């Protein structure tokens, strides 16, 4: 009856694209969420500028915060969206349909990645112009790493949502998962000044590398191999979280 038999093996870019479009359309129908997603990191940067009046200090820490704010907001949005997909039954419906798990996750990745680009671009442009933040090198690598940080946050949110039974739990994952990382990533106290145990903890948390990379890019005039290593770690964490997300996304459930 159904003449077309869609490919069920392999990865279909069309289905990933359709999923990304669907997620973006959902966001479009919710302008307040878009406004907050785009504006909150920028507003936080403006706030930071006036809290830290010393321009030398601001130049040092502003890029780190540009790495952290999008991470946090993407974490929440991704965790809640996935949790809603589970609780509304649409995930079960999709799992009964010819949609691959990787296509679904890639769709999310594309949609939130695009949102992250907008978010980071605005925060960077405002910071580098109006707020007077200066960086040693070009702003482009800064933007790229900040977007990678946001995508890392999204991947962590997708993975964490697998362990949330309710939306309440998904929201609680934000402080539970993100705040300890924010304390340990070098934002508050330099990682070099931490005790051995804290330093060790800091070393295994992804956000530490997100902040590290932003720091290195700002202070060095050119790209360093240490920055490359940080970026490689960020990407590895992202891939691991996405694979973890795919593994926890079960077609068959008890």
Write down the H helix ranges in 162-224. Answer: 167-173, 179-184, 196-204, 206-219
**In the set 58, 66, 77, 99, which binds other proteins (CB under 8 A)?**
99
215-254: which residues touch other proteins (CB under 8 A)? 251-254
78-97: which residues touch other proteins (CB under 8 A)? 88-90, 92-97
**One character per residue 38-77, x = contact with other proteins (rule: CB under 8 A):** ----------------------------------------
The CB-of-7 to other proteins minimum distance in angstroms stands at 8
Stretch that binds other proteins, among 6-14, 48-56, 144-152, 225-233 (CB under 8 A): 6-14
CA distance 37 to 32: 8
The CB-of-246 to other proteins minimum distance in angstroms stands at 16
Query: How does 201-218 read in b/e, with b if 16+ C-beta sit within 10 Å?
Result: bbeebbbbbbbbbbbbbb
* Closer to other proteins by Cβ: residue 7 or 140: 7
Q: Are 107 and 17 within 8 A, CB to CB?
A: yes
Q: Does 166 bind other proteins (CB under 8 A)?
A: no
Q: Are 171 and 75 within 8 A, CB to CB?
A: no
Q: Are 135 and 218 within 8 A, CB to CB?
A: yes
Judged by CB under 8 A, how many residues of this single chain contact other proteins? 32
The CB-of-3 to other proteins minimum distance in angstroms stands at 8
CA distance 20 to 227: 30
Q: Which of 182, 155, 115 is nearest to 238 (CA)?
A: 155
Q: What angle do CA 169, 31, 43 make, to 5 degrees?
A: 80
Q: Does 10 bind other proteins (CB under 8 A)?
A: no
CA distance 197 to 85: 38
The CB-of-227 to other proteins minimum distance in angstroms stands at 39
Q: Does 13 bind other proteins (CB under 8 A)?
A: no
CA distance 7 to 110: 21
* Closer to other proteins by Cβ: residue 49 or 86: 86
* List of residues contacting other proteins (CB under 8 A): 1-2, 4-6, 8-9, 14-15, 18-19, 21-22, 25-26, 29-30, 88-90, 92-99, 251-254
């Amino acid at each position: 009856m159904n003449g077309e038999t869609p490919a069920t093996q392999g990865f279909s870019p069309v289905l990933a694209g359709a999923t990304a479009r669907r997620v973006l359309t959902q966001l479009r129908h919710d302008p307040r969420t878009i406004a907050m997603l785009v504006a909150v990191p920028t507003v936080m940067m403006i706030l930071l500028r006036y809290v830290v009046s010393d321009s030398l200090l601001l130049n040092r820490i502003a890029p780190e915060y540009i790495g952290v704010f999008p991470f946090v907001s993407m974490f929440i949005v991704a965790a809640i969206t996935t949790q809603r997909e589970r609780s509304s039954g649409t995930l079960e419906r999709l799992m009964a349909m010819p949609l691959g798990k990787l296509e679904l996750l890639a769709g999310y990745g594309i949609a939130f990645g695009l949102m992250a680009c907008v978010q980071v671009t605005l925060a960077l442009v405002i910071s580098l112009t109006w707020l007077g933040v200066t960086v040693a090198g070009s702003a482009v690598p800064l933007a790229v790493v900040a977007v990678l940080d946001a995508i890392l946050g999204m991947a962590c949110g997708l993975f964490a949502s697998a362990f949330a039974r309710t939306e309440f739990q998904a929201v609680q994952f934000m402080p539970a998962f993100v705040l300890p990382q924010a304390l340990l990533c070098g934002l508050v106290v330099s990682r070099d000044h931490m005790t051995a145990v804290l330093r060790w903890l800091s070393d295994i948390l992804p956000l530490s590398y997100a902040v590290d990379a932003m720091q290195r890019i700002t202070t060095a005039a050119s790209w360093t191999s240490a920055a490359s290593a940080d970026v490689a770690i960020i990407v590895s964490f992202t891939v691991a979280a996405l694979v973890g997300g795919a593994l926890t996304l079960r077609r068959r459930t008890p």
